[in-house]
A and B are shown apart, each in its own frame.
Chain A
Amino acid sequence: ETGVTQTPRHLVMGMTNKKSLKCEQHLGHNAMYWYKQSAKKPLELMFVYNFKEQTENNSVPSRFSPECPNSSHLFLHLHTLQPEDSALYLCASSQASWGLAGAVAKNIQYFGAGTRLSVL
């Protein structure tokens, strides 16, 4: 148990569906991340939130919409996905602090178990 909980663990959805992935961390961290892991590809960072503010969006298509209502919760809203979006979606958290350039996340990350998404 890493202290990062993701739900659901498995999700099958059609291309016209709307669904949301949820992540909750109980570690007192203030930085949260969404990653995508496809077969035979490295982990791809999608979004970063430091102190509830989105600080990174790695050219992710708009059919993925993140939401961070507080430092413990992170959502990924999905709509009109494509079959190639099928993957393992991992949430992670870490401790962040304020640096000269703003929020700086410490880089030891704790991952949730992931949501395995299949888009039909």
Chain B
Amino acid sequence: KNEVEQSPQNLTAQEGEFITINCSYSVGISALHWLQQHPGGGIVSLFMLSSGKKKHGRLIATINIQEKHSSLHITASHPRDSAVYICAVEIQGAQKLVFGQGTRLTINP
């Protein structure tokens, strides 16, 4: 079993829909990152969380440390949001990221 599990693996939605991507992890962490990878491959860091909730524009990320679970929400989704979203955790005591398999999101106009 992977230390970081994301769901769903693939998600297709219509423009305007509210999107939720989930991430569960099984190890002690010091922080959790949400990343975005577009076709062509570049990776952008969206959020780094160690507790609570963060919001940036139409993106919201939450984390529940007790339940070892995080969610990434996209409100009013748009075709330009189409990308692979990756959850990554920093293992406690180590300065390296362990990644989920990613969620491929497609937003249709």
> Do A and B interact?
no
Task: Give chain B's interface residues, CB within 8 Å of chain A.
Answer: none
Chain A interfacial positions (CB closer than 8 Å to B): none
